[in-house]
Structures are given as structure tokens and as C-alpha cells.
Amino acid sequence: MNKGKDYDLIVVGAGPAGMTAGIFGARSGLKTLVIEKGISGGLSNEATDIDNYPGFRKIGGMELAEKMKEQTSEYAEIKELEGVNKIEIKEKEQKMMVFTEKDSYLSNAVVLCTGTKKRKLGVKGEDKFLGRGVSYCATCDGFFFKDKPVIVIGGGNSAVRGALYLKNVGCAVTLIHRRDELRAEQYLQKKMETAGVHILWNSVVKEIKGDKAVGSVVRYDKESGIEDELPVDGVFAYVGEEPVNALATQMDVKLDKEGYIITDKGQLTNQERVYAAGDITGGVRQIVVACAEGAIAATSAYEDSIG
């Protein structure tokens, strides 16, 4: 193996957790590489406004990610658009072999920061109209629906933030939630109330219909038992996230029953020198928490490396 491809620490994923792990790993003296299958920032790139990350009263997700990337690159090497396919633990050599779409690298330790992906709604029409009215990202696609009726499905922070963004863009927004209360932060709920977003409670979408693009959804009202059809141009589904755990599974890293990686307080998994940080560990999924876990993981990797 070319010496240039031999690292002390490889971080998989360049979301807030991965980038922070990069900063802390490299600053502690570990030769650190951060590998990202897309562009740096992870899901934070999709956040319009972040207003609970200390130090910034309000900052766009992409702007924060860009600042983090700039800072990370001062210390660690970042490779973007390079997905990691496989990691082999070489017990004898006490090394990990990291295989990507483009290359392979050796490392003494690995931090998995693979994050989560958006959960699908799982109804008829969802796949058919993906990109033709069905979206999982208001910030990315919202503008195309200016002045048009759209629905947002879900009751968490993402759904409420999505609804607020769409309302702001000029869409006629209806939020559909399966229960009679939202799980989103009170602060966001109040903002949505002030913005005048219409809410349909105790309702689920059973089907998305249309011709070339979305034209309506079939809504089932759980209380009355009545089904009706709502004319809409856009369907924004925010029904939660799922862990991206294929690498962890392949490395026999222990997961909880929902598929999130189990770690100790130092972010170490059940495998020696394999750490995990950020959304992939479940729990409170906020940027500030991801950053903290990334810092802990890299610090643990450093401390474990000096014994």
C-alpha cells in the first residue's frame, strides 16, 4: 500500500459529525481522511434556517456546512463524491482496509458517520410521481410550487420546517398528520400557527394520484372513517429517517432494534477502533449533538492510539 494512502484515522461521511471528527482527529495529530459519497454537509444542506446551533442566531444549512468544510480542510483531507463500499477489519495487522468506488485506503481506526436517509411514505403513486410532484425536500423543490396547493406529511421538526418554508415561498400549504398532536418543537409549532398553515389532524394519505404529475391525494380521516380526494400539485413527505447502516452491518457492528449503531460514552462500537458519531447513533438528532459526538469519537481514537 502506497504510504500516501495509509491513514491513522478515516472518517466515513462528511456531515457535521464527520467534519468535526476530521477537525479533532487531525488536530490531535492523527493523519486523518474524511470520505464523503456526495458533497460535504449531509442532511444539514437541506435545512433552510438553523437557529439552534450556538454562535449563529440564524444560518442557512448550506452556509453552515460550507463553513464547516472550510475549517475541516484546514486540518484534514476531505474526499467528496467517493462512496465507501466496504471496510475490512484486518485483525492481525490491526488495520482497516477501506474500499471506495475509486480507490482503497488503510487506516488504524475508523469513525462511521453515515447518517440517516429520508423514510418513504410507502403509498401507491409515491415512486411513480417522484420528481413530478413528490418530494422529500422543500428547500430543494419548493420554489417550483409557488402559488400552488401542496401538502406536507408528518408531524416532526422536518415537516414543520418544510411547511414553513413552503408557506414562505408562496405555496398554499396543508399539513397532514396522523395524530392529533405534533412532535415538533413548540417554538416551531407556534411559528407555523402564526404563519397560518392549515392542518388536517388524524389523517393519512393513502394514495397519490395524477396523470403526468401529481394532481391529488386520497386522504383517510381516521376519526370519521371518511376518505376524500384533495387536489394538490405537490406532496412533501417528512415521515422520519432511517439509519444508513449497510457498512456497520457488514462490519458486524452492533445495532439497536431500530438499526442505529450502539456506542459507549467514547463513541466506540463493539468493534475495536471502530467509532460512530452523529445521526447514525440515533438519539437526539441535532447538528450540535452530531458535532459533539464527532469530537468525542476522534478524541477517543487518538487516546486509544496512544494506549
Terminal CA-to-CA distance of the chain, rounded, Å? 25
Closest residue to ligand NAP: CB criterion: 156
Q: How far is the CB of 298 from ligand NAP (least distance, A)?
A: 23
Amino acid letter for position 259: G
Residue 125 binds to ligand NAP (criterion: CB under 6 A): no
Is the Cβ–Cβ distance between 95 and 107 less than 8 Å? yes
Q: How far is the CB of 222 from ligand NAP (least distance, A)?
A: 11
Strands 234-237 and 274-276: unpaired
Residue 120 binds to ligand NAP (criterion: CB under 6 A): no
Q: How far is the CB of 202 from ligand NAP (least distance, A)?
A: 10
Helix axes 16-27, 61-73, angle to 10 degrees: 20
142-161 positions binding ligand NAP, by CB under 6 A: 153-159, 161
Helix axes 157-169, 186-195, angle to 10 degrees: 30
Q: How far is Cα 191 from Cα 195, in angstroms, rounded to an integer?
A: 6
Is the Cβ–Cβ distance between 98 and 107 less than 8 Å? yes
Q: How far is the CB of 121 from ligand NAP (least distance, A)?
A: 6
Task: Please identify, using beta-carbon distances, which residue of 109 and 239 lies nearer to ligand NAP.
Answer: 239
30-49 positions binding ligand NAP, by CB under 6 A: none
Q: How far is the CB of 154 from ligand NAP (least distance, A)?
A: 4
Is the Cβ–Cβ distance between 269 and 276 less than 8 Å? yes
Is the Cβ–Cβ distance between 87 and 43 less than 8 Å? no
Is the Cβ–Cβ distance between 188 and 159 less than 8 Å? no
Q: How far is Cα 292 from Cα 90, in angstroms, rounded to an integer?
A: 29
Q: Identify the residue among 31, 148, 178, 191 touching ligand NAP (CB under 6 A).
A: 178
Q: How far is Cα 2 from Cα 295, in angstroms, rounded to an integer?
A: 28
Q: How far is Cα 108 from Cα 95, in angstroms, rounded to an integer?
A: 5
Task: Please identify, using beta-carbon distances, which residue of 25 and 162 lies nearer to ligand NAP.
Answer: 162
Distances (CA, A) of 263 to 13, 97, 109, 140, 256: 17, 21, 15, 33, 10
Q: How far is the CB of 159 from ligand NAP (least distance, A)?
A: 6
Task: Please identify, using beta-carbon distances, which residue of 35 and 160 lies nearer to ligand NAP.
Answer: 160
Q: How far is the CB of 230 from ligand NAP (least distance, A)?
A: 15
Task: Please identify, using beta-carbon distances, which residue of 89 and 200 lies nearer to ligand NAP.
Answer: 200
Which region among 16-24, 105-113, 178-186, 254-262 touches ligand NAP (by CB under 6 A)?
178-186
Task: Please identify, using beta-carbon distances, which residue of 35 and 205 lies nearer to ligand NAP.
Answer: 205
Binding mask 201-220 for ligand NAP (x = CB under 6 A): ---x----------------
Distances (CA, A) of 168 to 20, 59, 236, 237: 32, 17, 15, 18
Residue 239 binds to ligand NAP (criterion: CB under 6 A): yes
Task: Please identify, using beta-carbon distances, which residue of 167 and 273 lies nearer to ligand NAP.
Answer: 167
Residue 52 binds to ligand NAP (criterion: CB under 6 A): yes
Residues interacting with ligand NAP, by CB under 6 A?
52, 121, 153-159, 161, 178-179, 183, 204, 238-241, 285-286
